[in-house]
């Protein structure tokens, strides 16, 4: 029986990079994967008045994994709290599937060291993972809005902090850097306290350090090799992982995985129920300025497909094959416009396929 993958192309360059991912997946796992596509984000607002329909959410729940491209664009930008935004679809998908753990690996490819705005000697041998809590904090807290005042509530529970910390400690080779703002925020003080207690009780062999988020932001640029696993809450993780993208030379190079736990297919929903499917997506946005030009970099999407194979479907060999093919294509000179070259989306895809 084929593995069922839900495709959510979304907006902007999203539909242009989903096709290459399917091509590459079919090449490494011929006949093993079945794809089903649904509208999502701004495209779904245009079609149905909402960024995520119940039908699409049900399809995602019944799948083995979800491959998401990109959402958003100026067409749907609004400050009106009564109007839907594409990003609300992402939050609803994460909440609906219980995807509380976001993994964002950052490993600059040697062939692209000189594409980074940072000095080569700073980024060489950087290999870190940002583990971001995904369903709590200020993004999901109560919101109020009047003509003259607005508020966003940031709430975290002990249980929410413990479960994401376990994912981070489980992913660490040597060190977890827990990032917070404990000198100002009560949520961060609880965060630091819970992470410290969990470390002592369950993971004493892993080194733990606590950094304030502003210090972490500076050290991520000044000494990125220092980090192994960065553990942090929702908003800080969103910002730091995008900052970390510049270590690779382009945000067009970073994949991500959103899971319901640290296992290969998430946490079980309950006795007799299937594992929760994960969502795998590039870190970059919908890039509406280049949509339709054929210039989109598909590599983060292909690497997200590799993360899906590894973390969502336990297909390690196929995942490694895609990652190796991307590395070899770059080593032989593949450069899309965001990397200072002229390769089109189709040319980049073919360059990777040739190395599989």
Indicate whether 126 pLDDT > 80.
yes
Q: How far is it, in rounded angstroms, from Cα 39 to Cα 21?
A: 17
Whether residues 320 and 354 share a domain: the answer is yes
Catalytic residue (one of 46, 77, 114, 214): 214
Flag whether 255 is in a domain: no
- Tens digit of each residue's pLDDT (9 = 90 or more) over 13-28: 999 999 999 999 999 9
Average pLDDT over the chain, rounded to whole? 92
Q: How far is it, in rounded angstroms, from Cα 109 to Cα 196?
A: 33
Whether residues 122 and 29 share a domain: the answer is no
Using the 3D structure, point to which of 248, 277, 303 is the last residue of a domain. Answer: 248
Respond yes or no: is residue 214 known to be catalytic: yes
Q: What share of the chain is helix, strand, coil (3-state, %, to 5)?
A: 45, 20, 35
Q: What is the mean pLDDT of residues 335-352?
A: 95
Catalytic residue (one of 11, 64, 228, 238): 238
Flag whether 210 is in a domain: yes
Task: Report percent pLDDT > 90 for the chain.
Answer: 81
Whether residues 159 and 244 share a domain: the answer is yes
Q: Which pLDDT does position 193 carry in this prediction?
A: 98
Alpha carbon dihedral 101, 104, 105, 107, in 10-degree steps, equals -170
* Sign of the C-alpha dihedral computed for residues 139, 250, 125 and 334 taken in this order: positive
Flag whether 266 is in a domain: yes
Respond yes or no: is residue 156 known to be catalytic: no
| Domain ranges, residue 334 | 1-100+261-356
Cβ burial of 125 (10 Å; 0-12, 13-18, 19+) is exposed
Catalytic residue (one of 4, 26, 152, 242): 242
Whether residues 269 and 351 share a domain: the answer is yes
Q: What CATH number does the domain containing 62 carry?
A: 3.40.718.10
Whether residues 340 and 235 share a domain: the answer is no
Catalytic residue (one of 113, 181, 228, 338): 181
- Tens digit of each residue's pLDDT (9 = 90 or more) over 27-78: 999 999 999 999 999 999 999 999 999 999 999 999 999 999 999 999 898 8
Range with lowest mean pLDDT among 119-128, 183-192, 317-326: 119-128
Whether residues 242 and 266 share a domain: the answer is no
Q: How far is it, in rounded angstroms, from Cα 35 to Cα 18?
A: 11
Flag whether 16 is in a domain: yes
Flag whether 297 is in a domain: yes
Pairing assessment for the beta strands 229-232 and 128-133 based on DSSP bridges: parallel
Whether residues 124 and 185 share a domain: the answer is yes
Tell me which H or E stretch contains 7: strand 3-10
Residues 6+ apart with CB under 8 A from 166: 198, 202, 262
Q: Which pLDDT does position 116 carry in this prediction?
A: 83
> Residue 261 — pLDDT band, cuts 50, 70, 90?
low
> Residue 271 — pLDDT band, cuts 50, 70, 90?
very low
Chain mean position to CA 331: 25
Q: How far is it, in rounded angstroms, from Cα 42 to Cα 83?
A: 12
DSSP 206-239: SEEEEEEHHHHHHHHHH-GGG-SEEEE-HHHHHH
Show the DSSP H helices in 146-272 as ranges: 158-171, 186-202, 213-222, 234-245
Using the 3D structure, point to which of 200, 221, 248 is the last residue of a domain. Answer: 248
Whether residues 209 and 130 share a domain: the answer is yes
Flag whether 254 is in a domain: no
- Tens digit of each residue's pLDDT (9 = 90 or more) over 129-141: 999 999 999 999 9
* Degrees to nearest 5, angle at CA 137 with 264 and 162: 50
Q: Which pLDDT does position 198 carry in this prediction?
A: 98
Q: Which pLDDT does position 163 carry in this prediction?
A: 96
Respond yes or no: is residue 119 known to be catalytic: no
Respond yes or no: is residue 242 known to be catalytic: yes
Whether residues 138 and 232 share a domain: the answer is yes
Using the 3D structure, point to which of 248, 278, 309 is the last residue of a domain. Answer: 248
The number of domains in the chain is 2
Catalytic residue (one of 11, 64, 113, 139): 139
Flag whether 292 is in a domain: yes
Q: How far is it, in rounded angstroms, from Cα 134 to Cα 94?
A: 7
Pairing assessment for the beta strands 128-133 and 143-145 based on DSSP bridges: unpaired
Give the chain's radius of gyration (CA, Å).
20
Place of tokens 């990079």: 17
Q: How far is it, in rounded angstroms, from Cα 257 to Cα 311?
A: 8
Strand order, beta sheet including 255-259: 33-37, 3-10, 65-70, 279-282, 255-259, 101-106, 128-133, 229-232, 175-180, 207-212
Whether residues 126 and 180 share a domain: the answer is yes
Flag whether 150 is in a domain: yes
Q: Which pLDDT does position 245 carry in this prediction?
A: 82
Whether residues 287 and 327 share a domain: the answer is yes
* Degrees to nearest 5, angle at CA 352 with 70 and 90: 15
DSSP 8-64: EEESTTHHHHHHHHHHHHHHHSTTTEEEEE---THHHHHHHSSSS-HHHHHHHHTSS
Contact 255, 126 (CB under 8 A): no
Whether residues 232 and 128 share a domain: the answer is yes
């Amino acid at each position: 029986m084929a593995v069922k993958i839900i495709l959510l192309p979304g907006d902007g360059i999203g539909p242009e990079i989903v096709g290459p991912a399917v091509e590459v997946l079919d090449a490494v796992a011929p006949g093993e994967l079945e794809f089903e596509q649904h509208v999502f984000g701004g495209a779904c607002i245009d079609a149905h008045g909402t960024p995520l329909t119940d039908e699409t959410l049900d399809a995602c729940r019944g799948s083995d994994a979800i491959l998401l491209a990109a959402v958003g664009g100026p067409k749907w930008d609004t400050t009106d709290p009564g109007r839907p935004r594409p990003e609300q679809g992402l939050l609803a998908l994460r909440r609906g599937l219980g995807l509380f753990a976001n993994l964002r690996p950052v490993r600059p490819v040697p062939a692209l060291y000189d594409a980074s705005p940072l000095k080569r000697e700073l980024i060489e041998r950087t290999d870190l993972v940002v583990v971001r809590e995904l369903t709590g904090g200020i993004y999901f807290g109560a919101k109020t809005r009047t003509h003259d005042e607005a508020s966003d509530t940031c709430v975290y529970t002990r249980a929410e902090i413990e479960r994401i910390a376990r994912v981070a400690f489980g992913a660490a080779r040597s060190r977890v850097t827990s990032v917070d703002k404990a000198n100002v925020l009560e949520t961060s003080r609880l965060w630091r306290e819970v992470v410290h207690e969990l470390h002592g009780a369950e993971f004493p062999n892993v080194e733990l350090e606590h950094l304030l988020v502003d210090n972490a932001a500076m050290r991520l640029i000044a000494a990125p090799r220092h980090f192994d696993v960065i553990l942090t809450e929702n908003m800080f993780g969103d910002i730091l992982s995008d900052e970390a993208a510049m270590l690779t030379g382009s945000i067009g190079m970073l994949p991500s995985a959103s899971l319901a736990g640290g296992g290969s297919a998430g946490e079980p929903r309950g006795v007799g129920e299937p594992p929760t499917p994960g969502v795998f997506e590039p870190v970059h946005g919908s890039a509406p300025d280049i949509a339709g030009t054929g210039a989109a970099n598909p590599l983060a999407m292909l690497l997200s497909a590799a993360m899906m194979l590894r973390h969502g479907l336990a297909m390690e060999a196929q995942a490694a094959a895609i990652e190796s093919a991307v590395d070899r294509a770059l080593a032989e000179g593949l450069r899309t416009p965001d990397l200072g070259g002229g390769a089109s989306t189709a040319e980049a895809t073919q360059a990777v396929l040739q190395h599989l």
